[in-house]
Structure 1
């Protein structure tokens, strides 16, 4: 659109009919006659716009603009009776899908559990480990996609001449997605282990009812077997109805996942691997919000149905994203069955540890308690702010269905803070003779972990294998934002809704927003999985890695215009 002329109406004098009667000096005649010169009316007389004959006619235009669009000339006239500046307000429900985490949990340069031949004390364990997928690695892309529910409020004003200002605030909500390896395996069992025992006791001909129906065998294994010291006493325990300790462990232990670790030992180029047979849970959490304001100038292109305006503004975005891991391992040495979803030994229990006989368990973790509990919490807080440039475009008529969109790019200053805390991320099955036993302490262990310290957590306290790290950085992140929203005057056409006064003149809104931000820290891939606490004081730590962050946001709501 080419604007060639714009002018405003100037103040006028009195109408041609003469000076108003009430302003004529005493003794003068209507329409003329002798009297005081009209020049004296300038002394103390109100301005013409405050008199009954105003200086600006309501029937004359106060703003005139000529412009060319598509080769045709148009004239825009605005006067006192023309449309005023329009204010609008929007309230929307927002549903947002956010990027998922990627990358393997563990050190990609280290060997997996299945690739390592572990031989503590000269006795090989897990003989099938080199040929079958024992305790394979886990990739974070198996965590379900995150979907957030939030709210968006926005508003602004449109000037009759074409320019406007707008603002918005969006809280996308807080949500989490979880991958629970144990829960996935247990779902393959059609009945619980307790129900299977009841069926076996009834020779498969009916279900017995006992006080054990709601009992959790897993808690029995954790509380009364794996935390008993020494573990040989726990393994020798027999329980009514459930059988001996090995029977219980045979039913509750699973071939879950492992974490490859770089232990920085020169003669062990494959590193180490940590196994988990009780729990392996990964959680992805996120909370985001953003707010911004922008100015749109007069249209650079305008036709009957399409209007394009340049825009400039600023935006603040906050992303709180975290990765959490929780794992438990029995610390026992045994031959693990490969889960195949088949009840090979016809005991009503799918995929026990040993499907072809009775499982045999021996001590593996030499710590005070065989059970080890591990966790990782990696939290990223990204605060981003910067300018936005782009275009806003409108399709349709404001009185009917109207579609409004915008395309924006920006460069934001990104201040990141990432914190890491965890415990017992270490090989818990490789041990060596205690090089410095205490002859005066009969409870001093004869064996210790090769790479780590005792994994026993006393009263919930962290062990000597615990670690923490934190980093802060500021850098530039490129930003792209695309919006598209349709406004439909539908409420006035619905019998029930048209009688609600809050919806009178309102419009239904539906749209989407795509937000892409480059160079945002990844909470999982920023973990360097190295571990050798006892020998080298080496713990998992932060090594910040960044990737693209994006959100797909769908919104529905109501628009009010004033």
Structure 2
């Protein structure tokens, strides 16, 4: 008897029918006319079996590179159970700021030599030497400021993140003092007087000045208000010497400030005012700002390099001041001039730079035969340089001048660029960014000053009534009771666009764990050494000196004022600090 297994033949048919049957996961089959099962008013995540599972990845990313698909996944367990990686930097910064532009004074104005050489026959060969020339602001040493910076942010698992930075450079000043530069190469007064006493041989005896200086005697004795000037060199000041000797050591060929003459009729527009006591230039600056940016997921991501596009906003403030302080005597001394030198000029010997000179006498001749006699003693005489106050000028024979020009720029605007990282945050990592911005620049310029102009005046035909042969476009320069009538001020405010470019590089080096003592400090447990450099360039920033129009004729109501001149502002910043990753 043969038995046939019919069930075996039906099994494939049963499986095919079962594969096509709809199976409900929750509840029984719907009744006729009932809606399909599922959440109607309650979100799916509130159901008994939500669509999200605690066992799936916290973050998944699928991407392709060179035709091959990749997937990044973070499961959310253990050390990866952190949605963000935070970091922070605290740095000390040292910033080198740009130099200002232009000369201190008006351009294309006749020099002091031209002014005192109307015949154009080269007064005493002074064209080969500096002679109260105009000074450039580039003479001010490069200004470096100290500051502090805080930066940081976080990174999301998908590579996006938030970045912030803020810092401040403390105010500092750089100074060019023409008098100090010249006297640094000369003997001080005590040593010079000692050598004069000992005929250049020196001695072991101290030489004390009793608390007085040449400058003190000049200001408080020789040129003191109400004192009749010693034109004949008859007054002696003890071992300091006579009036001319004190002047010889004190009055220096410093620099001049050229100014135009306004609308006053003149053959050649412009004059140069000489400064023989003080000529000091200063640049003062402080800067600060902050920025925040969102970094998108990397456009390029490998094991060692990541590049993120970034977009954000920035604020930056620049407070820069130019300052000039000068002092000059209202004395003329023209011995070393020539026939056409005006009577109000200040002239110097070109070889020594002094307005007087010491000349040694000739020793006597010994007799012939026998032992002979000693030669005559060397005598010292002083040439009689004629120094005189300007006729009809101020009773105060020292002019004190100053200029204070301040520019405050408040810049704000959007920025974009790229942030890049090389290496791992757990090892040596190099980070950097390249950013550009369009900044709205609100500028305010404030100018004030006094006694800027040709206080020495110009030589004219003597007045038939007063006899004065020096004319000036300035009022009395006396400032002992406050500002003179030559004082001026100006304020300008404007808003415009300034382009900004910033390039930064920073290296984080995990070195603290290898240094005794430091490796035991809990504050440095997750820290690394941070060193870096940042270059900042901002266009169209007003220059506090170059924006001044040096036009001076106070008698006719014309003073220094602003005509904004904008240049490029740059900073090079070096930083060192601590980086924390947590």
TM-score, L = length of structure 2: 0.79
Cα offset for 1:411? Answer: 0.6
Q: State which of 398, 407, 419 in structure 1 corresponds to 2:425.
A: 398
Matches within 5 A, 1:121-136: 132-136=129-133
Q: State which of 159, 162, 173 in structure 2 corresponds to 1:162.
A: 159
Instruction: Tell me, in whole angstroms, the C-alpha distance in 1 between the residues paired with 2:128 and 2:473.
Output: 26
Does 1:472 find its partner at 2:469? Answer: no
Gaps of 5+ in 1: 1-18, 20-41, 348-353, 438-443
Q: State which of 187, 195, 204 in structure 2 corresponds to 1:199.
A: 195
Partner SS state of residue 327, structure 1: strand
Matches within 5 A, 1:483-502: 483-502=504-523
Instruction: Tell me, in whole angstroms, the C-alpha distance in 1 between the residues paired with 2:559 and 2:463.
Output: 22
The answer for the alignment partner of 1:37 in structure 2 is none
Instruction: Tell me, in whole angstroms, the C-alpha distance in 2 between the residues paired with 1:435 and 1:345.
Output: 37
The answer for the alignment partner of 1:451 in structure 2 is 473
Partner SS state of residue 328, structure 1: strand
Cα offset for 1:256? Answer: 0.5
The answer for the alignment partner of 1:359 in structure 2 is 385
The answer for the alignment partner of 2:257 in structure 1 is 259
The answer for the alignment partner of 1:337 in structure 2 is 349
Instruction: Tell me, in whole angstroms, the C-alpha distance in 1 between the residues paired with 2:258 and 2:467.
Output: 27
Q: Check whether the contact 1:103–1:140 (CA below 8 A) recurs between aligned residues.
A: yes
Does the C-alpha gap of structure 1 residues 192 and 114 become closer, same or farther in structure 2, counting only changes over 3 Å?
Answer: same
Greater Rg by CA: 2
Matches within 5 A, 1:140-159: 140-159=137-156
Does 1:63 find its partner at 2:75? Answer: no
Matches within 5 A, 1:285-296: 285-296=284-295
The answer for the alignment partner of 2:109 in structure 1 is 110
The answer for the alignment partner of 2:369 in structure 1 is none
Does 1:423 find its partner at 2:450? Answer: yes
Cα offset for 1:117? Answer: 2.4
Gaps of 5+ in 2: 1-25, 27-38, 334-346, 361-379
The answer for the alignment partner of 1:34 in structure 2 is none
Cα offset for 1:211? Answer: 4.3
Instruction: Tell me, in whole angstroms, the C-alpha distance in 1 between the residues paired with 2:409 and 2:234.
Output: 52
Instruction: Tell me, in whole angstroms, the C-alpha distance in 2 between the residues paired with 1:548 and 1:152.
Output: 23
Task: Tell me the alpha carbon deviations over residues 411-469 of structure 1, each in whole angstroms, 9 at most, x when there is no partner.
Answer: 100000001111111112225689798xxxxxx9967642111112224x111111111
Instruction: Tell me, in whole angstroms, the C-alpha distance in 2 between the residues paired with 1:187 and 1:451.
Output: 36
Instruction: Tell me, in whole angstroms, the C-alpha distance in 2 between the residues paired with 1:184 and 1:221.
Output: 20
Instruction: Tell me, in whole angstroms, the C-alpha distance in 1 between the residues paired with 2:315 and 2:452.
Output: 37
Cα offset for 1:57? Answer: 5.2
The answer for the alignment partner of 2:337 in structure 1 is none
The answer for the alignment partner of 1:382 in structure 2 is 409
Cα offset for 1:161? Answer: 1.3
Task: Tell me the alpha carbon deviations over residues 142-185 of structure 1, each in whole angstroms, 9 at most, x when there is no partner.
Answer: 11001111100112111111110111111122111111110011
Q: Check whether the contact 2:252–2:353 (CA below 8 A) recurs between aligned residues.
A: no
Partner SS state of residue 410, structure 2: strand
Instruction: Tell me, in whole angstroms, the C-alpha distance in 1 between the residues paired with 2:450 and 2:45.
Output: 84
Partner SS state of residue 181, structure 2: helix
Q: Check whether the contact 1:407–1:482 (CA below 8 A) recurs between aligned residues.
A: yes
My pick for the range that moved more, 142-151 or 331-340, is: 331-340
Cα offset for 1:268? Answer: 2.6
The answer for the alignment partner of 2:579 in structure 1 is 559
Task: Tell me the alpha carbon deviations over residues 249-276 of structure 1, each in whole angstroms, 9 at most, x when there is no partner.
Answer: 0111111111111113333314211000
Cα offset for 1:202? Answer: 3.0
Q: Check whether the contact 1:225–1:237 (CA below 8 A) recurs between aligned residues.
A: no
Does 1:512 find its partner at 2:538? Answer: no
Instruction: Tell me, in whole angstroms, the C-alpha distance in 1 between the residues paired with 2:97 and 2:219.
Output: 37
Task: Tell me the alpha carbon deviations over residues 181-220 of structure 1, each in whole angstroms, 9 at most, x when there is no partner.
Answer: 100110111x212221122223334154354165321121
Partner SS state of residue 198, structure 1: helix
Partner SS state of residue 241, structure 1: helix
The answer for the alignment partner of 1:76 in structure 2 is 72
Task: Tell me the alpha carbon deviations over residues 292-330 of structure 1, each in whole angstroms, 9 at most, x when there is no partner.
Answer: 100001111111111111000000000000110011111
Aligned residues: 501
Instruction: Tell me, in whole angstroms, the C-alpha distance in 2 between the residues paired with 1:320 and 1:513.
Output: 19
Does 1:543 find its partner at 2:563? Answer: yes
Q: Check whether the contact 1:116–1:129 (CA below 8 A) recurs between aligned residues.
A: no
Q: Check whether the contact 1:411–1:478 (CA below 8 A) recurs between aligned residues.
A: yes
Does the C-alpha gap of structure 1 residues 303 and 125 become closer, same or farther in structure 2, counting only changes over 3 Å?
Answer: closer
TM-score, L = length of structure 1: 0.82
Provide the alpha-carbon RMSD of the alignment.
3.2
Q: Check whether the contact 2:315–2:413 (CA below 8 A) recurs between aligned residues.
A: yes
The answer for the alignment partner of 1:38 in structure 2 is none
Cα offset for 1:279? Answer: 0.5
The answer for the alignment partner of 2:548 in structure 1 is 527
Q: Check whether the contact 1:428–1:452 (CA below 8 A) recurs between aligned residues.
A: yes
Q: Check whether the contact 1:105–1:139 (CA below 8 A) recurs between aligned residues.
A: yes
Matches within 5 A, 1:186-225: 186-189=183-186, 191-203=187-199, 204-206=201-203, 208-212=205-209, 214-225=211-222
The answer for the alignment partner of 1:308 in structure 2 is 307
Instruction: Tell me, in whole angstroms, the C-alpha distance in 1 between the residues paired with 2:307 and 2:206.
Output: 74
Q: Check whether the contact 1:276–1:327 (CA below 8 A) recurs between aligned residues.
A: yes
Task: Tell me the alpha carbon deviations over residues 495-521 of structure 1, each in whole angstroms, 9 at most, x when there is no partner.
Answer: 221111110011111111111000000
The answer for the alignment partner of 2:272 in structure 1 is 273
Partner SS state of residue 232, structure 1: coil
